[in-house]
Structure 1
Amino acid sequence: MPEQQKTPDDNNEIRYEETQTLIPKLRRVHVAAALVWLGRGAQDMQACPIASLFYGFCFAAMGLSVSAVFEHAYQYTSALTSGFLLLGPFFAMGLYELSRRREKGEGCRFASSLTIWRRNASNIGVFALVLTVVFLVWARASLVMFALFYTNEMPNLSGFLNQVIKLENIEFVAVYIGVGLIFAALVFAISVVAIPMMLDRRADAITSMFTSVAVVAANPAAMLVWAFLIVALTLIGFLTFHIGLIFLMPMIGHGTWHAYRALVEPDNQNRSSTNG
């Protein structure tokens, strides 16, 4: 029940205003809940195939562009591929909207998914700026690690992969993965339900990020499974010459909306039914 605060009005009378807490009420979910979210994401993709696959092709095109442009500079490719994961929640907004509309029984309107960012543009912009800063810091850290461990001459791509497979530079691999996990955990914690919440409730960026962190803290096992599935499916998408991204990324995007619905209690004064 929201707290009530007494405030004087212009006639020196007393009236009551409802004040909301910073973090909405959260739910605890089963450790295997992520599988349910993926299943529902697959159902949304089947119900909205054209719009969903459009976003899938966009993700695949991004992956192909990274591979094509930086084919001979893998030290950049690794950072940009990680950035692909960091910025994924921002690019999946259209998928969240498709799931929201299907949940409301409004059908799949592709056009509205393209402009959904207008519903809360300022706060989504703040959040995008935060993710961009994190991505730039990670990209710089990645280059620094390559520079520290390869002080003479950078090996070519095949030589580098050969070293990794044969564990000839295990110190670099351990440090690189360790630092990467720190950045990945940070981004996952602040973003797991942030954008869906900003779109659904028009919440501010700070509240949405704090809520995401609280969700992870309340459901560490389930969130670990969800993070593993996101990374595993994305990796499968890249290993299938980006073809898998066409189908797997929309499934993850739709599933993220269902994760938000399962983890955060609905707002009684929800305004998500109005078009932004």
Structure 2
Amino acid sequence: MPQPKDAPLDDPADLPFPTVRDVPITAPFRWVRQGWGDLTACPIPSLFYGFCFAAMGLLITFVFEHAYEYTSALTSGFLLLGPFVAMGLYEISRRHELGEHCALGPTLTVWRRNAGNIGLFAVVLGVVFLVWARASLVVFALFYSNEMPNLSGFLGQVIAMENLEFLAVYFGVGMIFATIVFAVSVVSIPLMLDRNQDAISSMLASVAALTRNPGAMLVWAMLIVSLTIVGFLSFHVGLVVLMPIVGHATWYAYRDLVAPLPIR
């Protein structure tokens, strides 16, 4: 019997390496529009995950107010945990694409579909997170020369471009870690969920998607960062809506960037 389009295979060893496609530089804007469409089509389960993101954002703000030198670690944790929290959003988009009922329940345990490889991917991101957290504290210790301010004081220094040496080193080091995480996670989890793909192939396919489409991936990264910042600046209310849009859009990024499996 022919294999349905993109249906998971029984034996992951039978899966070919994902074929990465070229996409136009404007494709991320279409992914966002499609993400909005999934949010409006499946509002209740989508907004549930949005509230989860908002709760994570509130936790970061609380810590920032009392110990902002650790906020970089928590913020990176927010970005690292994002793809795992968004797994349910990928499943909502998959079910909506197939014309199935949008329900929250099945999305909560979707990770079981490929738990071993998703766990391995989590370990990889966890190691990156721990290294970045340590590097962040070292940068603060070596380059932050001013007295430790409160939240408004720290943001004021950033806006006023004070302590430029610290800002240059801090954001430079952060950009390196952010690029690594983005490179290995563009399509990794959707691949592991949709095809039962192994973690290594999924991460390599993500890196290939980045290297083959640098323009589109730069636009996509900027959109993700911009929507996240807007969500934080709106007192986290925006995260409730914007993060589900990003999650759903990531599914369509995967659909565009990775060619369907051949019919068997």
Query: TM-score, with normalisation over the residues of structure 1?
Result: 0.87
Is the contact between residue 64 and residue 151 of structure 2 (CA under 8 Å) also seen in structure 1? no
Q: CA contact under 8 A between 1:193 and 1:211: conserved in structure 2?
A: yes
Task: Choose which of 63, 67, 74 in structure 2 pairs with 1:73.
Answer: 67
- Is this contact kept in 1: 2:60–2:71, CA < 8 A? yes
User: 2: distance between equivalents of 1:57 and 1:19?
Assistant: 39
Q: How far off is 1:26 after superposition?
A: 1.6
Following the alignment from structure 1 to structure 2, what is the Cα–Cα distance between the partners of residues 76 and 156? 13
- Structure 2, gaps ≥5 residues long: 1-12
| 1:194 counterpart = 2:176 | no
Deviation at 1:25, TM superposition (A): 1.5
How far is the alpha carbon of 1:267 from its aligned partner?
Answer: 1.2
Alignment of 1:165-184 (within 5 A): 165-184=159-178
Aligned letter for 1:257?
W
Q: Which residue of 1 aligns with 2:18?
A: 24
Aligned to 1:33: 27
Amino acid in the other structure paired with 2:104: F
Aligned residues with identical type, % of pairs: 67
Higher fraction of strand? 1
Could you tell me how far apart the structure 2 residues matched to 1:43 and 1:152 are?
A: 47
Q: Work out which of the two has the higher radius of gyration on C-alpha atoms and give 1 or 2.
A: 1
1:155-198 per-position Cα deviation (integer Å, ceiling 9, x unaligned): 33333333222222001101111111110110000000000000
Aligned to 2:113: 119
Task: Go from structure 1 to structure 2 and tell me whether the alpha carbon gap of 1:37 and 1:148 turns closer, same or farther (over 3 Å shift).
Answer: same
How far apart, CA to CA, are the structure 2 residues paired with 1:219 and 1:183?
Answer: 20
Q: 2 CA distance for matches of 1:158 and 1:44?
A: 37
Give the match's secondary structure for 2:66: coil
- Residues in 1 aligned to 2:237 and 2:89: alpha-carbon distance in whole angstroms: 18
Q: Which residue is equivalent to 2:131?
A: 137
Alpha-carbon deviations, 1:35-87, whole Å to 9, x = none?
A: 00000000001110000000000000111012123412111112211221122
Answering whether residue 8 of structure 2 is matched by residue 52 of structure 1, we say: no
Runs of 4+ residues deviating >6 angstroms: none
**Deviation, structure 1 residue 104:** 0.8
RMSD: 1.7
Report what 1:252 is aligned to: 246
2:202 and 2:52 mapped to 1: Cα distance? 26
C-alpha displacement at 1:88, in angstroms? 0.9
2:210 is matched by which residue type in structure 1? V
SS at match of 1:136: helix
Q: How far apart are 1:262 and its partner, in Å?
A: 0.5
Deviations 1:203-250 (Å, cap 9, x if unpaired)?
010010000000111111000000000000000000000000000000
CA distance in structure 1 between the aligned counterparts of 2:146 and 2:255, rounded to whole angstroms? 51
Structure 1: stretches of 5+ with no match in the other structure = 1-17, 271-276
Counterpart residue number, 1:221 = 215
**In structure 2, what is the Cα distance between the partners aligned to 1:161 and 1:20?**
49
1:239 and 2:233 equivalent?
A: yes
Output the CA distance in 2 between the equivalents of 1:150 and 1:50: 44
Q: C-alpha deviations, 1:128-178, integer Å up to 9, x for none?
A: 111111111111111110001236843333333332222220011011111
Query: Equivalent residue for 1:105?
Result: 99
Q: Using the alignment, how far apart are the partners of 2:263 and 2:119 within structure 1? A: 24
SS in 2 for 1:112: helix
Aligned length: 252
Amino acid corresponding to residue 37 of structure 2 in structure 1: Q
Say which SS state the counterpart of residue 26 (structure 1) adopts. Answer: coil
Q: Per the alignment, do residues 66 and 152 of structure 1 end up closer, same or farther by CA in structure 2, a change over 3 Å counting?
A: closer
